[in-house]
Amino acid sequence: MTKIKGIVVSASNTKKLGGEKEKMENKIVLFSVLAVLALFALPSVSATYPASTVYFEPEDSIGKFGEDTHVKVMINASVSTLSTAMDIFFDPSCVNITDVNFTGNAYFQQKNWTHWGNYVRVGAMNFQPMAVDPGINLISTLKLQCVNESNCTSDLGFGGILEIGDYPGYDPVYTEWHNGTFTCDKIEKPDLVISEKYETQEDGNFTVTYTVANVGAGDADASNTSISVDGVVVEDPVPELGAGESYNNTVGAFECP
């Protein structure tokens, strides 16, 4: 085996593990590992609530930094109702409520929400005679976003203004308000690096053998290693790599300079 001088190995968004960069007059081989992450949020299971309650679905939800998580505000009413009003508190150092959506809600004729730093005020109502029948109905859907990448948990708490108006007079209805939580889960990220490479020369050509390793804490989705020789790019597929796994392959032959 003969080392071909000047082949430089680098990986995008990674660090080179050892070795010395070599310069080559005519040909440069560049390695870049392009990783796509598959991030998943685990769903929570909600409890079953009796009549005369307002609650979150799911009660305890989980999200990741950079993703939107949606939580429904539900009502299980014991009587016909016309209006809802509530404040929903959260820890702004952990999570933020960025939107309140009323699509598909039962109280649709007049609706609004406002943001007050550490809580949102949400109101929705119908006019007579558009009463909402007793039973389980959607009030609104919250969009939550993690504020930081660290593990943290915020209470989602009902407080301040809390009112359910009955039919036909909008008189307050006795209601139990069930709080919830939102957890920002830590993202375990992969880190793909070119950990080893060498060249083999034979009959005026050469091949490149490389190893890509996932030195990160998370699993890496399938990716590609790109090999560029004088503007000609060869894509070499790399399979999914779990944390600590590696992949080795030989690419070529390429014409020697």
pTM for the full predicted model: 0.60
Tens-level pLDDT at each residue, the chain (257 residues):
333 334 444 444 433 334 433 433 334 343 433 333 222 333 344 468 999 999 999 999 999 998 999 999 999 999 999 999 999 999 999 999 999 999 999 999 999 999 999 999 999 999 989 999 999 999 999 999 999 888 899 999 999 999 999 999 999 999 999 999 999 987 777 888 888 888 788 777 888 888 988 887 778 888 888 777 666 777 888 888 888 889 988 887 777 76
E-strand ranges in 44-150 read 53-57, 60-64, 68-77, 81-89, 95-101, 110-115, 119-125, 135-146
- Strands 135-146, 68-77: pairing is antiparallel
Domain residue ranges in the chain: 30-37+189-255, 53-185
At residue 47, φ and ψ (nearest 5 deg) are -80, 170
- Taking the C-alpha atoms of residue 100 and residue 122, their distance in angstroms, rounded to an integer, is 8
Tokens at 22, concatenated: 């070599």
For the domain made up of 53-185, the CATH class stated in words is: mainly beta
Neighbours of 32 (CB within 10 A): 19
**CA-wise closest residue to 56 among 65, 47, 64:** 47
Q: Half-sphere exposure (CA, 13 Å, Cβ side) for 219?
A: 9
Cβ(41)–Cβ(64) under 8 Å?
yes
Contact by Cβ (8 Å): 89, 156 = yes
